[in-house]
Structure 1
Amino acid sequence: MASDPPVLLAAVTLLSAFHMAFLARRVGWSRMAHKILPPVVSGPPEFERTFRAHQNCVEFYPLFLVTLWTCGTFSSEVVAAATGLLYMLARELYFNGYIRSTKKRLPGFFLTLAALLLLSVLAVAGIARGILDKYLYTHM
């Protein structure tokens, strides 16, 4: 019997992709406001902070997706999806804080780390449980 498709994980993943696109658009708005044409990535501090905030979100995105799906697949889809929403909130706080000042990015950064840690721990626990169930307990 086939299991139900992971609709919550898919929904959070799609929403996170839209969020990443919105953050990219904010870099574009900053480019227009400061008259900085691609491929230039330097300019006034406000632009550079906006650009770096987006780049940092891009750098974390693969880690988020892997831990989101692994946690949702091997532990709890509901908890993974809820934590995924928390992660997006954290990234938004991070982005908005970073634009204002590099120090103001820290609350969002720490919340991001907490969300990733939770996803990672639950993913590892779920995989370990699966390995034990499949390879140890079935052979006893």
Structure 2
Amino acid sequence: MLEQVALLAAVTVLGVLEQAYFALQVIYARRKYKVSPPNISGNPEFERFYRAQVNCSEYFPLFLSVLWVAGIYFHQGVAACTGILYLCGRYQYFHGYAASAQGRLAPLYFSSGVLWILIGLSTLGLLVHFLALDVGRLLKYHTGL
């Protein structure tokens, strides 16, 4: 069982580490731009770091959900590779946004596209799973096995 989800677990841990890295970058930006908690506004450079981190955190549960569903019901390797692409896109998004608001757009479109691929793989995997169950039930019913 463990080998069937090891790649998904590895990508999950990488994602958690990436989220921790983003949070640390916000802490460093607070110090650099002198924005004390709980303030989240005041310096435009800090605000970009903060918004980039919040945006990445907002999408993280959705990413984890479809990563695991795609990995379990479609294919672990394909889902894990797609997950790595998503994390790379989010890394680029974070740093692009921190540099300029416009810098976030290309990585945002890329990571959103990858997320849609994971959603599609999850949906396809579940559809095949449920269709296979129904076909199995029909065969069992008609053959009496």
Shorter-chain TM-score bucket reads: over 0.9
Could you report, residue by residue, the CA deviation over 1:81-111 in whole angstroms, capped at 9, with x for unpaired residues? 0011101110011111111111110111011
1:45 — aligned with what?
A: 44
2:138 — aligned with what?
A: 139
1:64 — aligned with what?
A: 63
1:103 — aligned with what?
A: 102
Aligned-partner residue type, residue 92 of structure 2: L
TM-score scaled by length of structure 1: 0.95
Aligned-partner residue type, residue 19 of structure 1: E
1:74 — aligned with what?
A: 73
Gaps of 5+ in 2: 140-145
**Contact 2:52 2:97 (C-alpha < 8 Å) held by counterparts:** yes
SS at match of 1:36: coil
**Contact 2:35 2:43 (C-alpha < 8 Å) held by counterparts:** no
Q: Greater CA deviation, 46-55 or 110-119?
A: 110-119
1:124 — aligned with what?
A: 123
TM-score scaled by length of structure 2: 0.92
| Aligned equivalents of 2:54, 2:35: Cα separation in 1 | 17
Gaps of 5+ in 1: none
Q: Greater CA deviation, 130-139 or 83-92?
A: 130-139
Runs of 4+ more than 2 Å apart: 2-5
| Aligned equivalents of 1:3, 1:33: Cα separation in 2 | 43
The Cα RMSD (Å) is: 1.2
| Aligned equivalents of 1:57, 1:138: Cα separation in 2 | 43
Q: How many residues align?
A: 139
Aligned-partner residue type, residue 96 of structure 2: G
| Aligned equivalents of 2:80, 2:131: Cα separation in 1 | 25
Aligned-partner residue type, residue 100 of structure 2: S
2:7 — aligned with what?
A: 8
SS at match of 1:43: coil
Pairwise CA distance, 1:5: 4.0
| Aligned equivalents of 2:106, 2:2: Cα separation in 1 | 38
Query: Which protein is bigger by CA-based radius of gyration?
Result: 2
Aligned-partner residue type, residue 58 of structure 2: E
**Contact 2:73 2:126 (C-alpha < 8 Å) held by counterparts:** yes
